[in-house]
Amino acid sequence: MRRVTFMPDNRTTEAKSGVTLLDVARSSRVSIRTRCEGKAGCLMCKVQVTGEGISAPTAAERQKLGIEASTGLRLACQAKVASSGGCDLIVTIPEDPLKAAVRRQLQQQEDDNLW
Ligand code: FES
């Protein structure tokens, strides 16, 4: 078992080795958007992983993400929790563009009200 923390929700769970980050997120009720349902086709499940207890990038990830070595950028549907090595994992999910726009608008209104 390995501890996996999803950011920005800051939700931590225990995950078995061999399970994809997408499945770990779903079992923890953390939302990661997908369209291809885990077939490495939509690239919507991109996450940034910090920590070494994760499988090496698959050929599909290297091809789709244009990476040669692990940069921490992974497809949650392909990256699996590793059984050995490394420490706890921190998985950062990019903010949904719509949520980001709403958050910026609310922040702007709040800033305007201060003056
Ligand atoms: S779910 Fe589509 S690429 Fe991962």
Where are the domains positioned within the chain?
2-112
Q: Would you say 12 and 4 are in contact if contact means Cβ atoms under 8 Å apart? A: yes
Q: How many residues does the chain have?
A: 115
Q: Cα(88) to centroid of ligand 1, in Å?
A: 23
For the structural domain made of 2-112, what CATH number should be given?
A: 3.10.20.30
- Mean per-residue pLDDT of the chain: 90
Q: What is the mean pLDDT of the segment spanning 105-115?
A: 86
pLDDT of residue 85: 64
User: pTM for the complete prediction?
Assistant: 0.83
Q: What is the mean pLDDT of the segment spanning 71-79?
A: 93
What backbone phi and psi angles, to 5 degrees, belong to 41?
-110, -30
Q: Atom 1 (ligand 1): residue with closest C-alpha? A: 38
pLDDT of residue 6 exceeding 90, the answer is yes
**How far apart (Å, rounded) are the C-alpha atoms in residues 115 and 113?**
5
β-pairing verdict for 89-92 and 46-50: antiparallel
**3-state SS, residue 49:** strand
pLDDT of residue 69 exceeding 80, the answer is no
